[in-house]
Copies of this chain bind each other. A is one copy, B any other.
C-alpha cells in the first residue's frame, strides 16, 4: 500500500471535499410496483391460519402485567397462555395508525412513515466491530460515536439507530444512557430507543422528553423501540415491559418475532409466514391494549437455518419470498412494517457479504418495506459491524433508493431530441443535454472501482475493503457535529449523571436486535 493510494493525496482530498454533500435524502417514496407473490385468496389463507393459531394454540405472554391486561379486555387466559379471538385481534389492530411522522431533532430530517415510504436504519447490536484498520475487536463508546458520525454523514441513512455496536467500556446496566446520548448528540437524524429492560426503556423515554418535550411526545413519534418475540409464540417480560414503557408515551415499537426458519417455525415458507404473522398480530394487538391508537410497527427478524450446522442463513431465496409475503400481510392489516436489510454470515467483507447484502436489499425494496433496519455494517450473522461494509452498504442504500424511485421522465422530450442531433454512429458526451444531466442521470458509485486493471494496479491494487476504509477516514475528518441545544445537552448529562448514581454498575448482557 503506497501512501498515495492510502491518502489519495492532498488535491484528491480537496476534490472529494468540494463535492461532499452529506444532506440526508428525504424518506424514500417508492415508485416501482410491489412484488406480491400471493393472490387475495392466499393472503386470506395465511390470515385464517394465523387466526386459527391465535385462537386455538394461543400465545405465551410470560409477564404477569400483560396477563392481567389481557384478562381485563376479556381474552381467554390459561396460566400464561392467551387465546386471542380473531374478532378481538381485528378490532385491536384497527386503531394502529397506517402512517405517521417520525420526528428528528432537526425538523428538516423528519420522516413521513408508512405506506409508500421507506427509511434506511443502520444495523445494531454488534458485540464486535471491524475497525478502521479492519481489525476485529470489542467496541467502545468512541467506536459507537464513530458509527453515529458515519450514519450522520451517509445521505441515504435516515437514522443513527442506537447501539450499532455494544460499547464494552461502560457497565452494561448503565450503557443504555450513554448509547442514547451518543445517538442524540452526534446526529440530528432520527434514532432508536433501547429496550433492553423496562427500566432502561423508561430512561430512554425520559431522555426523549428532555430532547423533544414531554407533551410533544404525547402526539408525535420521536423514536422507535424493538421488541423481539421468542418464536414460536412467546413474548417475555423484558420485551413486554419495554413495550409498555414506549406505548404509554405513545412511542412506536417494532413487534418482531425472531424467526430461525425451520428451527423455530415449520419447514415451509407459507407456514413460517403464517406463524410469524400470528406472533406479530399478538404483539400488535397488545400495543393497543396498552394505549389505544399508539403507533406500532409490524416487525420480524428473519433467517433460515442450515440443517447441516444449525447456523442462521441470509441472502437465501426464501428470505426474499417471505419478505414479499410479510409485506402483503402488513398491508392487508394496514400497518407499517419493518424488515432487515443486509443480513449475512460472512466472516470478512468478501464476495459472500456482497451477494448476501445486495440480494436482501433488492428483495426488501421490491417487498415495499417501510422500516429497513440493519441497512449498514452487518456481517458475521450480526456478530460484528464492519466499518468498511457500513460505508459500502450506505452507498448501496443510495443506489437502492434511486432504483426504487423508478425512472425519471421529466426531461424525456429534450433527451430524446438529442437522438436526431447526434444521429447514427455519433456520441453524446459533448451534447448539451448530456452535459446538463449526466450527474443525475446515471448513478456513479464512489466505492465501486470501474477503472481498467492497469489503472487500478497503478493506484495500488486496492480492493473494496481498503477503499471503503479510506472513505470512512475521509468522512470522519470532514464530520461536523450538529450541535445539541446547550440547555438540553446539560439537562441530558445531568439526567445521565443522576441515573448512573442510582443504577448499580452491573455487567450481565441483555441484548435486543
Residues of A within 8 A of B (CB): 31-33, 35-38, 42, 45, 49, 52-53, 56-60, 81, 136, 230, 232-234, 261-271, 274-275, 304-309, 311-313, 315-318, 320-321, 324-325, 344-359, 361-363, 366, 380-381, 383, 389, 392, 396, 399-403, 406-409, 411-412, 415-416, 418-420, 422-429, 431, 433-434, 436-439, 441-445, 447-453, 455-456, 461, 463-465
CB neighbours (8 Å) of A464 from chain B are: 346, 350-352
Report the bound CA distance from A64 to B482 in whole Å.
68
Copy number in this complex?
Answer: 2
CB neighbours (8 Å) of A422 from chain B are: 232
Q: Apart from A57-B423, A350-B465, what 19 extra A-B contacts exist at CB < 8 Å?
A: A35-B35, A262-B428, A262-B429, A263-B427, A266-B418, A266-B431, A266-B433, A269-B441, A271-B412, A271-B418, A306-B444, A308-B444, A313-B442, A316-B445, A346-B448, A347-B449, A354-B358, A359-B399, A383-B453
A420 with B57: CB separation less than 8 A? yes
CB nearest to A56 among chain B residues: B420
Report the bound CA distance from A436 to B230 in whole Å.
24
A37 with B42: CB separation less than 8 A? no
Q: Nearest Cβ distance between residue A89 and chain B, in whole angstroms?
A: 16
A396 with B265: CB separation less than 8 A? no
Q: Nearest Cβ distance between residue A105 and chain B, in whole angstroms?
A: 30
Report the bound CA distance from A383 to B52 in whole Å.
57
Report the bound CA distance from A452 to B347 in whole Å.
8
CB neighbours (8 Å) of A350 from chain B are: 350-351, 354, 463-465
Q: Nearest Cβ distance between residue A181 and chain B, in whole angstroms?
A: 31
A359 with B358: CB separation less than 8 A? yes
19 A-B pairs within 8 Å (CB atoms) are namely: A53-B420, A56-B420, A261-B441, A266-B419, A268-B415, A270-B407, A274-B419, A318-B441, A345-B450, A350-B350, A350-B351, A351-B354, A351-B389, A352-B447, A355-B358, A356-B448, A358-B362, A359-B361, A362-B363
Q: Nearest Cβ distance between residue A171 and chain B, in whole angstroms?
A: 26
Contacts A434-B267, A442-B304: A60 and B311 contacting too (C-beta < 8 A)? no
CB neighbours (8 Å) of A58 from chain B are: 424
A267 with B233: CB separation less than 8 A? no
CB neighbours (8 Å) of A444 from chain B are: 306-308, 313
CB neighbours (8 Å) of A418 from chain B are: 266, 271
Report the bound CA distance from A346 to B412 in whole Å.
32
Query: A419: which of B232, B349, B361, B449 is its contact (CB, 8 Å)?
Result: B232
Report the bound CA distance from A359 to B357 in whole Å.
9
B451 with A396: CB separation less than 8 A? no
Q: Nearest Cβ distance between residue A151 and chain B, in whole angstroms?
A: 20
Report the bound CA distance from A395 to B366 in whole Å.
22
CB neighbours (8 Å) of A416 from chain B are: 49, 52-53, 266, 268, 271, 274-275
Query: A266: which of B38, B399, B401, B415 is its contact (CB, 8 Å)?
Result: B415
CB nearest to A441 among chain B residues: B267
Q: Nearest Cβ distance between residue A468 and chain B, in whole angstroms?
A: 9
CB nearest to A261 among chain B residues: B442
CB neighbours (8 Å) of A352 from chain B are: 354, 447-449, 463-464
CB neighbours (8 Å) of A313 from chain B are: 442-445, 448, 450
Query: A271: which of B60, B400, B419 is its contact (CB, 8 Å)?
Result: B419
Contacts A37-B32, A56-B420: A262 and B450 contacting too (C-beta < 8 A)? no
Report the bound CA distance from A212 to B432 in whole Å.
53
CB neighbours (8 Å) of A433 from chain B are: 266-268
Report the bound CA distance from A359 to B444 in whole Å.
15
B403 with A317: CB separation less than 8 A? yes
Query: A346: which of B305, B407, B449 is its contact (CB, 8 Å)?
Result: B449
Shortest Cβ-Cβ A-B pairs, 8 listed:
A354-B354, A271-B415, A268-B415, A358-B358, A317-B403, A345-B450, A233-B424, A362-B362
B345 with A412: CB separation less than 8 A? no
Q: Nearest Cβ distance between residue A423 and chain B, in whole angstroms?
A: 6
Most buried by B among A49, A361, A412: A412
CB neighbours (8 Å) of A52 from chain B are: 416
